[in-house]
Structure 1
């Protein structure tokens, strides 16, 4: 077969009917559905507008800058996802849920503050802390304006003070406002609940500063007024050791401080007030003198017990042999304590029958327990003369027996 024959035998393509000069190619078909059916809207134009209106209406109650109700939908190590019924969830830092985020559960309802309906990532921006703050702000402001107290719990230490949970929001308690006296150990207050005065507010920065000291000062002033009207010489009072100096201790009687001088702490010797009392001790004292004009109070501790010199003659009559402790040494002798508040002097000449004592320290030391004899008792001047050598026989009295003549 020649090439010409092949061309002649090829089937001819039918031309479109002469009456359809403007024929259009058929559109693709997918399965049994043509592309035209996909392009036809499921809703009419009116129905589409109604649906869009209903969608917009579903968010009409959600406004930026307001507190809204949300539901926890997911919990991650660093953030919690909350659904507020908007087109996307909001992520909140887990730190905003307090010191115990483990108490948060999926499905739990929470109040959150809507900061922004959409951030750069298309997510709604929420805050739990701001919601807590806004919820209690009116009450906090009212307490601040009226000077009333608000109860709070001390949560954790930070630089310069302590964070306080105040009606569910965080407030700052400066170290200087924890107590009337200076506080060195903040940790002892953690976990405790107290009444506080709000001394500073800043809504824009959500800054709340509180004071416990102001509350204590008001209570102290009230107690002071009551104490001033009741205090009399000779009364027995309870107080707390507030401060210790070299000459005594200041005792807080509840509104007024009194001085407990070192000489009124014990009938015996006390080298320093800290040997007798410690700061914070609650002790019972006697009011020795109250100067109302100068508001000075002298207190006594030893006056709560009988004076040791009462009936001293019955306890230590002359020629009595007893034992005591050396408490002081001088050039002329040694002072021996027979009991608390009763001391006697052993003169250097009464220390030994046979030795020439150049100094008392050659025979005794402070703290030594020694046997002594009461040589003389001066009750009026509260003086006792003691002897150490008298506990042994006088060698001159037995000289003849030991060394007979001839």
Structure 2
């Protein structure tokens, strides 16, 4: 009897909230039965109280004979018997320990794993504890597709810890921005105006393309994409493409870098003297019309000017009256000036000068000489050197009033 009383006295009671040590007796049907050390009672450990992964196999998580540290949740009495067992949890004990570790750690950076995308952000796990990253704190730019982060592990900064409210808020954006700032400072320290650098096309807009230089996005304006005019950014580059660009300007304070893609590529005027010379007769297409003439594309990226006086032997008041944009024309090269990037062209030089119309030649011969006419007009209106000795009647005496 004394030995039995000693055994009973050695068995401690089990109370919800206790942290106990237990040995795994069996693993079956998605749960494990455990013997709680020093109590003489058993506990039930379900898959749900082992992990947040609903697709996990419990046999991969616990083994018979293994000793576990568990949290007692509540007492369970059998329906058909008076057997008393306890529901225990490994997951919640780990969460409690995680809460204890988190208190006072606001501002620290920890590694988390994204478990699922939820309304308004991401649900993440840190040492068995569930945390939340609001959508506005996921990245430096607002993220619509949060599903792509599921399963990823990354660093996030602890923003708020409140164990009583089960509140654990983190921010990935701050980590991203701090890393970007450090990378940006490093890149700006190496960049120099005029040098050629390698980057990757990050995104394309209607006004150009942004090139990732390894921490800094520089802009290639659409006018710097190609030597050709009116080029669409999407036709010049593709996202992810690696390109060489020339640095045109740097504004570290504003975080801006202006780049040029065409400056690293041969221009249309390079070696133009070997392709084009005065006297050549070539085919071209009218690209645009102005008040003073027409610009005709004679080589890719090179437009020559047909001055209004070189369009036709006939008088042309407006180039639009004789030509239209897109029209194919044959032109003669009058001059090539590579230094000034100018080509002078003529259409009328390839046309036969029309004969004068009947009567035009005789009319020209009958026309009085301009110089003599001016002298006569001057003589007719010449006044005396002095006004003394004549009156108004002397000047206008022959006029009848």
* Residues 266 and 341, structure 1, Cα contact 8 Å, conserved in 2: no
Taking the TM superposition and a 5 Å limit, the aligned residue runs for 1:147-186 are 147-186=107-146
Post-superposition offset of 1:124: 1.9
Post-superposition offset of 1:192: 3.3
- 1:83 is aligned to 2:34: yes
Structure 1 residues 91 and 327, CA, compared in 2 at 3 Å: closer, same or farther?
Answer: farther
Taking the TM superposition and a 5 Å limit, the aligned residue runs for 1:120-199 are 123-141=85-103, 144-145=105-106, 147-199=107-159
* Residues 294 and 319, structure 2, Cα contact 8 Å, conserved in 1: no
Secondary structure of 2:132's partner?
strand
- 1:232 is aligned to 2:192: yes
- 1:53 is aligned to 2:9: yes
Post-superposition offset of 1:344: 2.8
* Residues 31 and 58, structure 2, Cα contact 8 Å, conserved in 1: no
Q: Within 2, Cα distance between the matches of 1:256 and 1:113?
A: 50
Structure 1 residues 132 and 120, CA, compared in 2 at 3 Å: closer, same or farther?
Answer: same
- 1:376 is aligned to 2:335: yes
Secondary structure of 2:41's partner?
coil
Structure 1 residues 250 and 83, CA, compared in 2 at 3 Å: closer, same or farther?
Answer: same
Q: Within 2, Cα distance between the matches of 1:270 and 1:296?
A: 24
Structure 1 residues 48 and 187, CA, compared in 2 at 3 Å: closer, same or farther?
Answer: closer
Aligned pair count?
345
Rg larger for: 1
Which residue is 1:103 aligned to? 57
Which residue is 1:8 aligned to? none
* Residues 72 and 80, structure 1, Cα contact 8 Å, conserved in 2: no
Q: Within 2, Cα distance between the matches of 1:92 and 1:361?
A: 89
Structure 1 residues 283 and 215, CA, compared in 2 at 3 Å: closer, same or farther?
Answer: farther
Structure 1 residues 71 and 284, CA, compared in 2 at 3 Å: closer, same or farther?
Answer: farther
Secondary structure of 2:75's partner?
coil
Which residue is 1:316 aligned to? 276
After TM superposition, the structure 1 stretch with the greater mean CA deviation from structure 2, 88-97 or 280-289, is 88-97
Choose from 174, 183, 197 the match for 1:223.
183
Q: TM-score, normalised by structure 2?
A: 0.66
Post-superposition offset of 1:160: 1.9
| Structure 2 unmatched runs, 5+ | 79-83, 355-401
* Residues 33 and 42, structure 2, Cα contact 8 Å, conserved in 1: no
- 1:114 is aligned to 2:71: yes
Secondary structure of 2:164's partner?
coil
Secondary structure of 2:117's partner?
strand
Q: TM-score, normalised by structure 1?
A: 0.65
| Structure 1 unmatched runs, 5+ | 1-43, 398-406
Once the two structures are superposed, residues 57-76 of structure 1 have per-residue CA deviations (whole angstroms, 9 ceiling, x without a partner) of 4x57x872426446384554
Taking the TM superposition and a 5 Å limit, the aligned residue runs for 1:153-302 are 153-239=113-199, 241=201, 246-277=206-237, 283-291=243-251, 296-302=256-262
Secondary structure of 2:273's partner?
helix
Which residue is 2:359 aligned to? none
Structure 1 residues 102 and 192, CA, compared in 2 at 3 Å: closer, same or farther?
Answer: closer
